[in-house]
Amino acid sequence: MLGALSKASSSAVRARLSSGAPRDILGRAFAAKVDGDTLSVEVNPFTAHKVEPPSTTVTATKDELIKYFREMYLIRRMEISADMLYKAKQIRGFCHLYDGQEAISVGMEAALTYKDSIITSYRDHATHVGRGGTVAEVIAELMGRRTGASMGKGGSMHMYKREHNFYGGQGIVGAQVPLGAGLALGHQYLDDGSVGVAIYGDGAANQGQIFEAFNMASLWNLPAIFVCENNHYGMGTAEWRSAKSPAYFSRGDYMPGLKVDGMDVLAVRAAVAFAKQHALAEGPIVLEMDTYRYHGHSMSDPGSTYRTRDEVSNIRQHRDPIEHVRKLLLDAGLAEVAELKALEKEAKKEVDAAIEAAKAADFPGQDVLAAHIYKEGLGMQLRGVDRMSWLTAPKQED
């Protein structure tokens, strides 16, 4: 009986993922109107909890759409290249790829500034690039080189861009959410008109610390945006196996929430802009981004044992975020095929150059092994011994 129920639940989830509700690319493209270089588009409706949702009519200029297309394609190319480098054993350790989810990172940054703070999970490559980092920094970090985002010491899960208020990927599932609430508290204390954004996945959504952070953020009306990237599968586990209520946008209970088409960069941009305004005026809000990852949970997960190839293919065909923007541009006559192909070629060239630069870079040496643990210049000692003394101590004979 339990097996029958599980199969039925699995079929229901897969049907919902592939049914075209959210509507497919073709349906959304036909809803567009052109006025000069500006496009007016009807995005999929937002599902709201304890808040009036924003308008589904959004506008974007040609330049904005071209920018989003290039940024998403660059991230896609970077992640596919990381997959190949990992399989060639030039990247070791953990590696969590973001291809399929590009609209969230790009759409979010389109609605924020670098004064806003972001903290995310271990699927953080795209966030680093979105926060002003480079593909070269990401690839070098993945390959453990000095020129990487964290000097080659953090790897896939630990990239940071402090000068642009990116507080990194976090390896502990869900631990970034209370930290994100703390960042929001900092913005509230400074009264600087900025928000703290904490990103987590559907697999982490059941962590107790997330609900504790929700409670504190609501009590103190923190300018916090909690973003659940719901790609429907955790570590080999579908959402229907792990969550009694997969309506993650309503999990804040007393906190408002929105469910967003996370495969549409314009819908994401509109939702995050709305959420920022709400968070600054009223307090915290939850955004559930309905998205999909094309790769497995990590490189150790083939991503094919718990979902069908047809399911993945259907999402690629009908909901791919890059192809959606490509179709909007082409159908509206705002770009030519050759123009977009040139952007793709430029992005490929940038990624290829980043790979070659990373291969030529040095690995971190002993001089940085103990760095970035304590603030420099404090003269910290442990049991009377300076923490760096081992570097200058005479070597013991074998």
**Per the domain annotation, does 13 fall within a domain?**
no
**Per the domain annotation, does 117 fall within a domain?**
yes
pLDDT tens digits, 250-262? 999 999 999 999 9
The residue range of the domain holding 198 is: 22-392
Read off the pLDDT band of 237 (50, 70, 90): confident
Strand order in the sheet with 117-120: 47-49, 257-261, 285-290, 224-230, 196-201, 117-120, 166-169
Write down the mean pLDDT value for the chain: 89
**Per the domain annotation, does 27 fall within a domain?**
yes
Pairing of strands 285-290, 224-230: parallel
DSSP code at position 101: -
Element spanning 66, H or E: helix 62-87
Separation between Cα atoms, residue 121 and residue 169, nearest integer Å: 5
In sequence order, what are the residues at sequence separation of 6 or more whose Cβ sits closer than 8 angstroms to the Cβ of residue 166? 117, 118, 119, 127, 128, 131, 133, 159, 160
Helix axes 337-360, 135-142, angle to 10 degrees: 40
Question: How many domains does one find in the chain?
Answer: 1
Separation between Cα atoms, residue 157 and residue 172, nearest integer Å: 10
**Per the domain annotation, does 397 fall within a domain?**
no
**Per the domain annotation, does 187 fall within a domain?**
yes
Helix axes 62-87, 321-331, angle to 10 degrees: 150
**Residue 391 CA to chain centroid, in angstroms?**
39
**Per the domain annotation, does 10 fall within a domain?**
no
Res 283 pLDDT > 90: yes
DSSP code at position 303: S
* CA distance from start to end of the chain: 66
**Per the domain annotation, does 11 fall within a domain?**
no
pLDDT average, residue stretch 205-214: 96
Residue 71: what pLDDT? Answer: 98
Helix%, strand%, coil% for the chain, nearest 5: 45, 15, 40
**What pTM does this model have?**
0.89
pLDDT tens digits, 338-387? 999 999 999 999 999 999 999 999 999 888 877 777 776 666 666 666 65
pLDDT tens digits, 116-164? 999 999 999 999 999 999 999 999 999 999 999 999 999 999 999 999 9
Give the count of beta carbons closer than 10 Å to the beta carbon of residue 246.
Answer: 16
The CATH number for 70's domain is 3.40.50.970
Instruction: Name the token pair of 25.
Output: 């690319």
**Per the domain annotation, does 142 fall within a domain?**
yes
Burial label, 153 (beta-carbon count in 10 A; 0-12, 13-18, 19+): middle
